[in-house]
Structure 1
């Protein structure tokens, strides 16, 4: 049963970065997000799309609290708990993050550790720091890790060091870690950008399964519009830091996409997406 509070609520969020100027004349500012609002009321698959520099990754990092937003009326809440507001992180943001799985383009696995240990790190928010540091997992925890690795199809590589695995295998390991974590929402930042199209489709299907079978909300940034339309229910398009489309994937026509991407329109399709 879904909770009464929205899974994600972003209200009037802006984020400004300061760029150091090489020449005399002082620093310049760049508004990556400009009064962005959206709500995810139930577990769904939301794709964040838009041209390079539109604010996709900044929005994802603001939801997780990795970027602090500008001071003002802006606020971010996840599963009914405040992540940040008025430019400050909530004091219990780590507890809220423990319920969010993070999947990045570069996998974010510890290369020298085994795939099993990397997946088991999903328990760190639930066990003591010492037990996690020493890898003192209980029998039940070990079984949970192996179930997660098996669920994503890489159980046979559990004992291998992460840096000996392919990109697709590592990305599956990152998804297994989110499963072990018991994440209720997954934030995936360009999770298929470093993968070949065949492997990318497999990873996207795993995210679909995580949503449909386990009821996990998924927010994923994608450069490939065809992947966004095929694998996601809802599209949130950004341009110059503003939301310019928020609706079903089926409603995103070519004319709208041309207005969003401009000269980058042709490059926004991978052309390999298949069900």
Structure 2
């Protein structure tokens, strides 16, 4: 795999918060078309890694370099001028949905088009007709078209998260980065969201990087798992390789607490 074919190429990246090393010389690559789960205990560095890839979190000064689709977005401890353009290729899905509560679901999804239309059109709501059509198609695809006119803050968590996915579709993202996208959802809604991410990966060929607390979801939905512990990668391989010994190494003897549903 070359950097140009990778959704993200992370090389020798560290991040320090006070006395704590959130990332400690992390190197990992995710190819276009892969669906990768980032797992690990709370505070292991998985969200810090995801935010560093997007440039939302700066990395420590030093040898660390992060590339997105072959473009350097972080080096020498700061983001580069290319980070904004790189973000246009990344659809970000957050735990708390990041929708504008007072706007309709449709208007929130339309915000995905801001990167390719003049700002005044967005402010005035004068969206091109093709983008409006794209937005409704995306809402239909994720199963919430019936709620298009409803204010986002009146929708359930699962409906809002599916709206966030529709926004990434309208954005034309080449990859999805999802930070604990199901942590605030009930298991039924969580499965629907994960199934949508799998569909975008398998049908549309989008790379997906998703941080998860639920090990069973990582195993069920992702072919590859990268596990972090205390800021370092302690496992990178097929999800089928997460046997009991490996899980104890990652989480400790109470590893079953990391499963949403009871482990057989």
Normalised-by-shorter TM-score class? over 0.9
Q: Under a length normalisation based on structure 2, what TM-score does the superposition of the two structures give?
A: 0.96
Q: Distance in 2 between matches of 1:209 and 1:272?
A: 26
Q: Distance in 2 between matches of 1:240 and 1:190?
A: 18
Q: Distance in 2 between matches of 1:77 and 1:60?
A: 12
Report the RMSD for the aligned CA atoms in angstroms.
1.4
Are positions 1:50 and 2:37 aligned together?
no
**Counterpart pick for 1:180 among 162, 170, 173:** 170
Alpha-carbon contact 1:224-1:269 (below 8 Å) kept: yes
Instruction: Report how far residue 115 of structure 1 moved.
Output: 0.3
Kindly tell me: are residues 183 and 70 of structure 1, through their superposed partners in 2, closer, same or farther at Cα, counting changes over 3 Å?
same
Q: Under a length normalisation based on structure 1, what TM-score does the superposition of the two structures give?
A: 0.93
> Cα deviations across residues 233-274 of structure 1 (Å, max 9, x unaligned)?
10000000000000011111111001100144121001179x
Are positions 1:93 and 2:83 aligned together?
yes
Aligned to 2:238: 248
> Equivalent residue of 2:12, what SS?
strand
Instruction: Report how far residue 6 of structure 1 moved.
Output: 1.7
Instruction: Report how far residue 71 of structure 1 moved.
Output: 0.5
Are positions 1:37 and 2:24 aligned together?
no
What runs of 5+ residues in structure 2 fail to find an aligned partner? none
Alpha-carbon contact 1:197-1:272 (below 8 Å) kept: no
Kindly tell me: are residues 3 and 159 of structure 1, through their superposed partners in 2, closer, same or farther at Cα, counting changes over 3 Å?
farther
> Equivalent residue of 1:256, what SS?
helix
Judge which range, 260-269 or 178-187, deviates more.
Answer: 260-269
Are positions 1:200 and 2:175 aligned together?
no
> Equivalent residue of 2:6, what SS?
coil
Aligned to 1:7: 7
What runs of 5+ residues in structure 1 fail to find an aligned partner? 19-28
Instruction: Report how far residue 4 of structure 1 moved.
Output: 4.7
Alpha-carbon contact 2:3-2:67 (below 8 Å) kept: no
Are positions 1:147 and 2:142 aligned together?
no
Q: Distance in 2 between matches of 1:3 and 1:119?
A: 31
